[in-house]
Homo-oligomer: A and B are copies of this chain.
Amino acid sequence: MISVNADRLWATLEEMAQIGATPAGGVTRLALSDEDRIARDRLRDWAQQAGLHCDVDTLGNMFIRRPGRQSHLPPVLMGSHVDSQPLGGRYDGIYGVLAGLEVLRTLNDRQIDTERDILLVNWTNEEGARFAPAMLASGVWTGHFSEAFALSRTDSDGMSVDEALQAIGYRGSRPARSIPLHACYEVHIEQGPILEEEGIDIGVVRSAMGQRWYTVTLKGFAAHAGTTPMRSRRDALTGFARLALEVEEIGIRHIPDGRATTGMVQNSPNSRNVVPGEVVCSVEFRHPQSAALEAMEKDLHAAVADLRERGLEVKVERIFDYAPIAFDPGCTRRVEQAASQLGYAWRPMVSGAGHDTCYLNAIAPASMIFIPCEKGISHNEAENILPRWSEKGANVLLHALLSAAGEI
């Protein structure tokens, strides 16, 4: 079986990691920043050196096309994203783009013609770190958001996506609208500890967790910490503490697949000698089954009722509801076959994170391929993978893709 050039792939990853490199070994390459522009230019240069054309759509999504024999057929798509979290890692997203580039280079090296065209994509603003929400441009492309909505999103300095696209020269002319696709693949680091802990090379992603996000506001009464007896307090922050522990318990009741997280808290007045009067916090639940998400939400409301009995006013807003996703069995089967034929250990997995390919799955057959990452660390400068993990993921992508692109 043919395989990718692992050294070239690794060198390409290393070169890209210099763009937006941080002193601690990570990258900061926020969507539509100068670093993103430099990374995009580099990707386009590499495509051109491989004799491939790059189209850009009105949201800055980049499509590099390697024509097949039958360009009238729906193409096969692969890719991920070039943008990163602030102080993020060197592999999240970009590994999927550069593994795709390596697949194209390998096909060129071997002078392999496919039946269908192959598209390599870089989706704009996957992370959502600069412009919320995440997966913004793939969301428009697949019809989840309007283009006007996406263009009007602003960063913390008030700059819109529209302005940022123009500033870096990536407001293209191609419509940001889906085209028929035969199959979609995204190879990505797991961002969790499971594959490494189990010593498995490849995760075959059969589904993605549903997510429910909430904003919870707790109101008590701000009071002097010295003069207000313990029994006279309506302390919003100890109310929050009860909620955060109950949220954790809800997650533990749904192990191994459930996730329950309180990631954000804003305390007011947040002064050392004032009993806190108001807290705003986030709660999020993830699970591959809708029924479990329902149960988690019900438990959240029970926890909130308990806080109300303790004298706090509590408001719960569900701000995001994202149903569990089942990826296409045909797509996952090609991944399993590729991994098996290559002799790699694989296991089925659930994606706990959202990915552009979760949106793609709504309009075309899609699935994902995970490779291990050290200790599951991601969204962190310490994020790391081994060259052999990188190689195996790209080889599985190559063969799953070849299989799909050969179908007529």
Interface residues of A (CB under 8 A from B): 190-194, 209, 211, 213, 221-232, 235, 237-238, 240-242, 244-245, 248, 251-252, 255-256, 258-267, 270-276, 282, 284, 286, 351-354, 376-380
Choose from B248, B270, B378 the contact partner of A263 (Cβ within 8 Å): B270
Task: Find out whether the CB atom of B376 lies under 8 angstroms from the CB atom of A227.
Answer: yes
Complex Cα–Cα for A241 and B377 (A): 24
Which of B209, B232, B248 is the one whose CB lies under 8 Å from A376? Answer: B232
Most-contacted residue by chain B among A190, A231, A252 (CB, 10 A): A231
Q: Which residues of B contact A245 (CB under 8 A)?
A: 238, 241-242, 245
Q: How far is the CA of A245 from the CA of B307 in the complex (A)?
A: 14
A353 to B260 Cα, complex, angstroms: 39
Q: Which residue of B lies closest to A377 (CB)?
A: B223
Neighbouring B residues of A242 by C-beta, 8 Å: 241, 245
CB pairs A–B below 8 angstroms (20 shown):
A211-B226, A213-B272, A224-B376, A225-B284, A225-B286, A226-B286, A228-B259, A228-B376, A229-B256, A230-B251, A230-B255, A230-B258, A237-B262, A238-B248, A263-B270, A263-B271, A263-B275, A265-B265, A273-B284, A274-B379
**Copies of this protein in the complex:** 2
* A238 nearest CB neighbor, chain B only: B248
Contact of A192 among B228, B258, B353, B376 (CB under 8 A): B228
Q: Taking the nearest CB of chain B, how far is it from the CB of A363, in angstroms? A: 22
